[in-house]
A and B are shown apart, each in its own frame.
Chain A
């Protein structure tokens, strides 16, 4: 930390956007100057205007300011405007979180504004200038695992962008499933004709590209290290070890287990799966009556609960094969719903135009091989309540099961594969961050992360490759990859005081920490997402970021002036998660949803980053209650750092016991979860909580 005397701090207060009406600016700067000796202050009625910014810059230059507090609007807006080279800028959110949500001109509103200002000044006093972490040995190579359609598209994309790509495929040929089919579904631009398989050109370009190394019949022995510096050991290969900067996992899928399809007649020679039929049409004579059963073992709780999205189109495509290869053939399709989404509707209509392809909705009751024909009994069909259809061959449109990713052999304490979410598909945040897994620098593409067709797989491969490139470039600059893209802070450990308790290694959702046999954490900062969950986990308080650490938050907590118990002005500390809760709070402000002026807000990187010491600091400083608001936990996680919110709940249980031993009401500490859109709820949460605290009464530790 720098010496206090070396810091030149300034405060710029904007009185525009209702701030001037709500708060006495002069009183505010007086209070700030009182809190921080030698503080330079300027006031302006539109600080973000050209004139305002010019005045601000003049002040920074004249006084050599290196720490600047901007008391104006939310840090979520005007962030570029207030950025200044060589100056640590912190924002005091007087507009969205004071002026717009509290009664103007009131004493309590003024006190809140002054406290929030003092908090940020205290923070600026304690934080350090960060230096980015950049791994010593950097590689810009990219490893693509899996040579199917997604892997090929990914590898080719990377090579075309100028990166060196290593493509590892465990079989003897490239192409995966897409390489074995008779014909492909039409492109969305040209929906009217089936395509000849076009992988040949891709494979050729790839094999000839100087930037691509292909390793066939090769598997991975291990992957260790961190983004920018992954060490990959290969088995059965001319090269035994590679160094790569990022990994794309495109290990694909396998058809649904046919053993479970006996009730649909599987086992008879006349009953085949889509994949088997794809090979069958390339070799055998096609009989005259073919019946397709869609959703075979899909969208059924006893089988695959989901829709694999490709099977309807694939079955329709095969119906066309049948008609092309045997013009006398009739095709019967029994569906639950035909799901040909997007442009494939055109393809569906094209199939419909063939008058020998007959479709009906229905539920398959039984499929039995009668020797001369397969008898299929369909109930609830559109044809009649219960009908029997005879066919010479039945094709089951089975779904996709993702391949395991443990073949990646990751040397992470959290496991060899990527974490799997619902239905065994690789982790990827469908809504916000497709491709991104919980292993930084390792991206999932194609059917290993979600069921999809070839067109989507191709796009997915390219998309994941772009993320891999972005990752490498971020690591080169020492920046976090995502979701705090661009953040140059990283967790630094004061190892002398570490007790090898392993909490940080266990609680890190991203496996950033390896550990020695003894349990000493071995950080891999490039794997880190900068959530700070390790700060929250550490009982010895040895982990911290340059601009977010035990001291900086403690200083903010203590900067608040807590009135004594007779003034009946409770003080509530609110830890707000920066990801969803903080924006929700800003939206509440934009909507002028009024809440109590007794709250003092501290934004945190994740609820999981809240250290117990801050709670005890707050209680001993005299706060009457502590409210923690974060993202929703759960399997379909909203939490940007997977289980930060969950951890807070768990830690809350222990905390309650501690409170009880201190003879404090456990209700004083509460945790709430909101979605980014729940600004009305967040207003209610705050107001109800404050009311509850007023009922419980003041913290007995006040003014002790």
Chain B
């Protein structure tokens, strides 16, 4: 038996983030009936809706199901009271990023526009500090050569170290998330199996769960473009890091990896375009877009745009090349370092939840 501790502050936060009138949910269960994920014995998201209405934060934070949801929007489409379960689930996830963020401050930093100047100032100050220490904090003379501004070894070394540091911090939150999941959804009689890593990987790569729902087909395409665009970019980046050591760097435009990288940019731009379009003009399906949604879309867009410009500036020997490069590095920080605390955190949480769910036999 659990004790009910309503947290009206939490409820009001969900209301603010989702725009949903939670009390108007009449618990009819239509959402569960149309949801392709809802297991028979745990009406999802009907239960999550009343828990949200009662402000039961403790029941929602370690909730597996909300992370299995891929936001297809069927529940909102078929809700007779227009309480938008899909938006409520988004809001719960958003709250989770902040709840599990360690230190908590990092969660707040990227979830409230008030903190945006500080969120920008941190990478700016840190990068300047590194450059200052390296003694390269000035526009180098001659043709554009980024390594003259920020030596490759130093860049790769410091950025990798900082990323690892941020991800290490995030792993504490994810550890707590795992514990909470075990309390909220204990393994059944069958117990927990070995982590089904490959199965989960296959699920993620194939986007197989997306096909279960009807409302957001364009969403699947956009996500696929973005997902594989990023995967390509990561591969290209890893190759680039390796290439700085073994090859002549920078790479010429004809290098196959360079071509792949540019292809990835095109994919990301297309995905972003679809997503922005849907968020602006298809609100009935995509629901309310919050600050965090726009922040991450903007960050990715700026990252990709500045990356492309940095490349052009090198070939065209533009005078503002180093400014663009600096800007690009700040954008990298936003997307990569802040990743566990922004909406992109779902890469970690959803993967963790999938691993847990599949290990206890939850389909």
Contacts and interface: CB of A to CB of B under 8 A. Distances in A.
B6 A330 contact: yes
Contacts of B12: 355
Interface string B30-64: 00000000000000001100110111100000000
Instruction: Identify the interface centre among A330, A355, A356, A387: most chain B CB within 10 Å of its CB.
Output: A355
B51 A383 contact: yes
B42 to A, nearest CB: 11
A383 B47 CA distance: 7
B114 interface: no
A383 B22 contact: no
Interface in A341-362: 349, 352-361
Given A353-B21, A353-B23, A355-B23, A330 B2 contact: no
Interface string B18-29: 000111100100
Contacts of A35: none
B246 interface: no
A384 B185 CA distance: 13
Contacts of B118: none
B58 to A, nearest CB: 12
A426 interface: no
B6 A384 contact: no
Instruction: Identify the interface centre among A349, A352, A358, A361: most chain B CB within 10 Å of its CB.
Output: A358
A355 B21 CA distance: 8
B23 A354 contact: yes
Nearest to B51: A383
A383 B54 contact: yes
A383 B23 contact: no
A384 B54 contact: no
What is the interface of chain A mostly: helix, strand, loop, or mixed? Answer: strand
Contacts of A389: 3-4
A383 B4 contact: yes
Nearest to A385: B1
Contact of A361 (B6, B27, B53): B27
A377 B4 CA distance: 10
Contact of B3 (A353, A357, A388): A388
Contacts of B24: 349, 352-353
A413 B51 CA distance: 62
Closest 6 CB pairs of A and B: A352-B23, A386-B1, A388-B3, A389-B4, A358-B54, A387-B4
Nearest to B49: A382
Given A352-B23, A383-B56, 12 more contacts: A330-B8, A352-B21, A352-B24, A353-B24, A355-B12, A355-B23, A360-B50, A382-B50, A383-B4, A387-B3, A388-B1, A389-B3
Interface of B: 1-4, 6, 8, 11-12, 15, 21-24, 27, 46-47, 50-51, 53-56
A389 B27 CA distance: 20
A358 B3 contact: no
B1 A358 contact: no
Nearest to B55: A358
Contacts of B27: 361, 382
A382 B23 contact: no
Interface residues of A, number: 22
20 contacts: A349-B24, A352-B23, A352-B24, A353-B23, A355-B11, A355-B12, A355-B23, A357-B23, A358-B23, A358-B54, A358-B55, A377-B1, A382-B46, A382-B47, A384-B2, A386-B1, A387-B3, A388-B1, A388-B3, A389-B3
Interface in A158-209: none
A512 interface: no
Contacts of B23: 352-355, 357-359
Contacts of A349: 24
Contacts of A353: 21, 23-24
A359 B47 CA distance: 13
A356 B54 contact: no
A353 B4 CA distance: 21
Contacts of B51: 383
A381 to B, nearest CB: 9
B293 to A, nearest CB: 23
A628 interface: no
Contacts of A355: 8, 11-12, 15, 22-23
B64 to A, nearest CB: 16
Interface string A354-394: 11111111000000000000000100001110111110000
B109 to A, nearest CB: 28
Given A330-B8, A349-B24, A356-B8, A387 B2 contact: yes
A204 B24 CA distance: 41
Contacts of A358: 6, 23, 53-55
Contacts of B54: 358, 360, 383
